[in-house]
Copies of this chain bind each other. A is one copy, B any other.
Amino acid sequence: MEKNTAYHTLLKNLGLKVTPKRLALLSVLGEEHRYLSPEEVWKKLRRSFKNLGLPTVYRNMEELERHGVISKVLHSNRQLYYYFCPKTGHHHHFVCLECRIVEDISVCAVREMEKEIKRRVKGTVTSHILQVNGLCSGCAGKQ
């Protein structure tokens, strides 16, 4: 009995059990080019699964994020959003606060990003969040 889907392989490679709900969750995320909240994914999945707990969706999305399969989207309403990005390698995302569409941005420097966004996406950049995390010299020493 072959379940030869890409998502099946993906879960196998991560050492996660291949459950119908996980496959469906990946399918939902994979078909959306927008970021979704766990609750939104849950509502979509409940069409196919009458018994599906919201905590299950939270848990799986968190797990997939830990494995780098999906990425968190920061939002000023501070709710959790995730996006399944097919692109590999370091890059960034232009996210629309209105329709929640996500566009890959290959360059990294902020100036160049804004130029590229204006040219390619024809959108408006209203703000950007740029935060460098790490350890200061004092704390790095203690580690």
- Residues of A whose CB lies within 8 Å of any CB of B are 73-74, 78, 92-99, 101, 103, 105, 108-114, 117, 121-140, 142
Interchain CB contact under 8 A, B140 and A133: no
Interchain CB contact under 8 A, A138 and B99: yes
Interchain CB contact under 8 A, A111 and B113: no
What is the CA–CA distance of A37 and B89 in the complex, to the nearest angstrom? 34
Interchain CB contact under 8 A, B125 and A132: yes
Output the nearest chain B residue to A139 by Cβ-Cβ distance. B98
Interchain CB contact under 8 A, B111 and A140: no
- Other CB < 8 Å A-B pairs besides A92-B132, A123-B139, A128-B132, 7 of them? A92-B130, A103-B136, A108-B110, A109-B109, A110-B130, A121-B137, A127-B134
Q: A98-B139, A99-B139, A137-B122 are in contact. Are A108 and B132 (CB under 8 A)?
A: no
Interchain CB contact under 8 A, B133 and A98: no
A96 to chain B, nearest CB (A): 4
Q: A128-B130, A130-B129 are in contact. Are A123 and B135 (CB under 8 A)?
A: yes
A124 to chain B, nearest CB (A): 5
What is the CA–CA distance of A142 and B98 in the complex, to the nearest angstrom? 10
28 contacts between A and B (CB under 8 A): A74-B129, A74-B131, A92-B130, A92-B132, A95-B133, A96-B134, A96-B139, A97-B134, A98-B136, A98-B139, A101-B136, A103-B136, A108-B110, A109-B111, A110-B110, A110-B130, A114-B132, A117-B132, A121-B136, A122-B136, A123-B136, A123-B137, A123-B140, A124-B135, A126-B133, A128-B133, A129-B130, A129-B133
